[in-house]
Structure 1
């Protein structure tokens, strides 16, 4: 009888440890499936556009000089000095940057913009990744924003799928991907906008906005990156780009 009990206990223990081992293996496999892929990027793939001090890769739009300031390692403007653009142009790329804005503030990053004296503003030719304090904008400016005017929207065209934005005065991390006309807007780790330039759908959408009166809007296959001075204080840091 004692031997039978011993054998039964041994079998039960063996079964218990086998189940535990299987659960651990399944849990490990699930974790590996959910894990974010490890980036294969090399630092040499990226070009730093602003490192906290050097502004040699930037200039005023349509004029010489540089109207913004570097204060405490941040690239900033009160919005009165106009837009600045990269000296170089880009076609297919990933752009990443950190930014924050004052309460009720409005700014943006315009991409594929064309520098030419016949244009008054960068947004006449390039789509805009909107940067704005939507939470307080109506109170400050007495204007109710549309859904396609909030942070990370493709301004006036594409509405973000979510708003993982931080309050005014806190830094956000944004990413813009442009690859063979396919565009993505990312905000604090989430992809919130995805669209394709130059398609029939794109042209139809543009025709329904104010951009219909800007004949070269969104047509350039490459262009400058612009930081918008829109009358409000905005700060940028850690700006970098990788060409694809």
Structure 2
């Protein structure tokens, strides 16, 4: 009799335990899944932004034509910058142009830059590395400049945002020395765009007869490798002047 009287109680306890288990399982299933691992090199999903600078070290970058990054390039407050205390001619001792480890094609690049007083730098793209001394011998440049202080500011097509030595910006909107400027660079197999502080400033065809004619009229006409590809590495230029870059990221367009 005592055993029979205990059976209903046991059943109730078992049902209660099952209910708790099911509730716990349900609660667990609503938790967010672990973040997916970063894509392997060359496997970025279309449209996915990837950081090119982690704010801590120079992973993913090296000095053009060399291994590693020189000591004049430094990092502080989430930005990389060029320390020009040991300027040597038009570049910096321990500096040099830095480039991405990887090549890129059909992409959108975003970053921010600020320039020191009287400063000059540049964002050079579609670069071929092997066999050349400088990135600007092979790739076009989006100019980074103190328009008011640097002598190049007096030259049309040499001002901030310009396609250097080819096309000037549609509208002057560069920020003063020491303030951050926002850049968007869109590069495809056939066209490129320079955006500065939210405005499209330059758009041009980057291959074919029209582009060849532009090169033939420029200071780059004698450089046989200049502008011959619509893909390649991306460079931040050491022109011997203080410059800062941050929030550098890229995404494929197709």
TM-score in terms of structure 1 length? 0.78
Report the Cα distance in structure 2 between the residues aligned to 1:46 and 1:144, rounded to whole angstroms: 33
Partner of residue 114, structure 1: 128
Partner of residue 75, structure 1: 80
Aligned residues: 198
Deviation at 1:221, TM superposition (A): 2.9
Root-mean-square deviation (Å): 1.6
Could you give the per-residue CA deviations for residues 47-94 of structure 1, whole angstroms, max 9, x where no partner exists? 101132132111110001112211222101135111000001001100
Report the Cα distance in structure 2 between the residues aligned to 1:177 and 1:88, rounded to whole angstroms: 17
Partner of residue 199, structure 1: 208
TM-score in terms of structure 2 length? 0.75
Alignment of 1:90-105 (within 5 A): 90-105=104-119
Deviation at 1:145, TM superposition (A): 2.8
Report the Cα distance in structure 2 between the residues aligned to 1:172 and 1:130, rounded to whole angstroms: 12
- Unaligned stretches of 5+ residues in structure 2: 1-44, 85-90
Of 135, 153, 164 in structure 1, the residue corresponding to residue 148 of structure 2 is 135
Report the Cα distance in structure 1 between the residues aligned to 2:163 and 2:208, rounded to whole angstroms: 16
1:190 aligns with 2:199: yes
Structure number with greater Rg is 2
1:146 aligns with 2:155: yes
1:243 aligns with 2:246: no
Structure with greater helix share of residues: 1
Preserved CA contact (<8 Å) 1:60 1:82 = yes
Partner of residue 170, structure 1: 179
Deviation at 1:144, TM superposition (A): 5.8
Preserved CA contact (<8 Å) 1:51 1:237 = no
